[in-house]
């Protein structure tokens, strides 16, 4: 389950922000997860809750914002919605479709005290 290492990375980002901006507690973390990022949101929530125990983010709510997948079809040269990597183009049925969005995961916002 790679979500555990990702959750540790999110905590590190939160702790770095706390040192830089001098806050003591985190109430909410808003995390964007792309549909093509190979991250399971429920597993991420579970791992986040486990990782933040005993830290300034203990009890914080992890709000997952899902970002739709998007790709560029090299066959018809259109930007199209993409549900999974290596799917054919939904417009023309062609290949390849290069993922251009929905592949990322990032901390978008923190609600702090």
Q: In the chain, what are the domains?
A: 3-112 (3.30.2320.80)
Tokens 């901006």, residue located: 21
Helices 3-21, 41-51: crossing angle, 10 deg rounding = 50
Q: Give average pLDDT by consecutive 10-residue segment, the chain, 113 residues.
A: 92 97 97 97 97 97 97 97 95 96 97 95
| pLDDT at 1 (0 to 100) | 59
| pLDDT at 59 (0 to 100) | 96
Q: What is the pTM of this model?
A: 0.87
| Cα–Cα distance for residue pair 20/41, rounded to 1 Å | 28
């Amino acid at each position: 389950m790679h979500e555990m290492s990702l959750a540790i990375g999110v905590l590190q980002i939160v702790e770095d922000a706390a040192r830089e901006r001098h806050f003591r507690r985190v109430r909410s973390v808003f995390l964007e997860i792309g549909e093509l990022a190979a991250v399971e949101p429920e597993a991420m929530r579970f791992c986040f809750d486990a990782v933040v125990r005993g830290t300034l983010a203990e009890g914080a709510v992890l709000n997952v914002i899902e970002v739709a997948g998007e790709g560029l079809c090299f066959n018809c040269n259109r930007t199209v919605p993409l549900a999974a990597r290596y799917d054919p183009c939904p417009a023309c049925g062609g290949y390849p479709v290069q993922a251009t969005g929905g592949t990322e995961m990032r901390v978008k916002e923190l609600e702090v005290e």
